[in-house]
Every structure is written in structure tokens, then in C-alpha cells.
Amino acid sequence: MEGRTVKPRAEFGVFGGSGFYKLAKGTGSISATTRYGKPSGKVTLAAIEGRKVAFIPRHGVHHEFPPHAVPYRANVLAFKKLGVSRIIGPNAVGSLKGEVAPGDLVFCDQFVNFTSGRKDTFYDGPETTHVSTASPYCPQMRKAAAEAADALALKFHGSGTVVVIQGPRFSTKAESRFFSRQGWDVINMTQYPEVALAREQEMCYLNISLVTDYDAGLEGDPSVKPVSHGEVIKVFNRNLENLTRLIGEIVKRVPEERTCDCGSALEHARLSA
Ligand SMILES: [Zn+2]
């Protein structure tokens, strides 16, 4: 059956491009395919201190998939077929709060979905499944991430809510003000449906949000300029090395045994057995 393997070829799946796997020991690459088509790029396999890690460039090797066109289902299923049980999803985010500054990391524990029209489930029928996303992010991995960031002396926020917008355009000032007033922390275009799909596959999911900007500005501070794509890339690249080191440290620290409930997310989710 698709989605099941006997011997895992990878334990961790990371959505990130070449910058992320340069520190890992590469063991090959695979052109994967799934019933939802091909993932957004070749799957690269590597090992970090004996733990097997697979990488998929979320936006494609040449950044040819904008956020609303990423083949999220194929990406998640390609990892599942390799036996991946834990996904790490790094991404750039805008901050909606003064105290969450560019360069900071946020290990989100909640999302709010403002996307539309994306394929966001593996269960289109006839099998009906209502997975709980009350706690969509893996608590065991978030704990390991906080310990890893501490060990590397990186500034981080151990929890936070990401609002996910459709894109590819950035927010208007009015939208950004609205999101900010809800008390949400950061804004992004790819966390949904990626995390929800991982949950439907009973995989752990850790988000690493790297703050690159203050979205449409900061209320009360006209000196803060609205986000531009150029600025996002600049700040992201400046922090890429730290992010890569962090992912390596997390992989080393996550205990092999899963003590979370992510692996049984579908237990009470099905109406028809
Ligand atoms: Zn978990």
C-alpha cells in the first residue's frame, strides 16, 4: 500500500534546499513519485550522526513553485513512502509583534489558515477522516528544538501562532494590522496545508520560523519599512548557516522513541472503519 514501508530509508524529512544538506553526509538522491504526482524536487538522502535524513526543496530547485502551487500532498507523501516519521519544516516569516525581531526563531505551536483553494487533505472520499489539528505541532520535537537552540545560543521563541496567507502577494497594511491585533505572532505562506497533511499521515511536524521582516510595517513606528522579497532573501541567507546548524543539532537531540501522540492522530478520526 502506498504510504507504508517496512524498513525506513529516512527517519527525518526536511523541507529545504541545498543550503540545508551541505553539512550532512549525502548518500544519494531519488526521483520519487506519488499518486499526487511528483514532489517539488528530487529527494536527497543524507545522514547526520547516524540518523537518516531526507530533503525535498519545497519550492523546487529553481524556486519554480510559488507558495500556492507547491505540490504539498506529493511532498508529504514522498517522505511517508521513505518511512519518514518526523518532518522539519523551516520557513521565512514576517513578524506581527515588536518583540519578535528579524533574526529570531519561532517554534510555532498553532496556525491559523487564511489560504484558499489549496488541496489540503488526503481524504477526499469515500473514506471520511476528520483529523484533530488542535495541537498540530509535535511537542516532543518542539522541546528538542528549544534545547538545540539553547545549546547554540540562538534567540528563539518556544511557541507562537503563525497565520498562513494565500500569497504570492504580501499583506496590505490593513490586513497586517488585523492579523497583529488578533495576537498572532508571525505570518507565512507555506505552513498550511503542509503541517495538516503531515498530521493526516500521522507524522510529527516541527516548524522552524525564521523571522526576516516586520510584514507590512510596525504600528506606531513609521521607520519600519514594509516587507520586500529582496529583504526576505537577504535576511534568510544571512541566517542560513545558523538554521542549518540548528537542524543538525535537533536531529541529534530528538529521542529515537516517539513519546508524542502524533503517531496515532487518526485513531479517533475515522467515521468508517
Ligand atoms: Zn510527534
Q: List, for residues 71-115, the tens digit of each pLDDT value.
A: 999 999 999 999 999 999 999 999 999 999 999 999 999 999 999
Report the candidate in 77, 97, 85 with the shortest Cα–Cα distance to residue 12: 85
pLDDT at 202 over 80: yes
Catalytic residue flag (residue 215): yes
Q: What's the 258 CA to ligand 1 centre distance in angstroms?
A: 6
pLDDT at 2 over 70: no
Catalytic residue flag (residue 213): yes
d(CA 68, CA 23): 30
Confidence of residue 7 (pLDDT cuts 50, 70, 90): confident
pLDDT at 165 over 50: yes
Domains in the chain with CATH codes: 12-264 (3.40.50.1580)
d(CA 128, CA 272): 7
Q: Whole-model pTM?
A: 0.93
Q: List, for residues 207-244, the tens digit of each pLDDT value.
A: 999 999 998 787 777 788 888 888 888 888 888 889 99
Q: What's the 219 CA to ligand 1 centre distance in angstroms?
A: 36
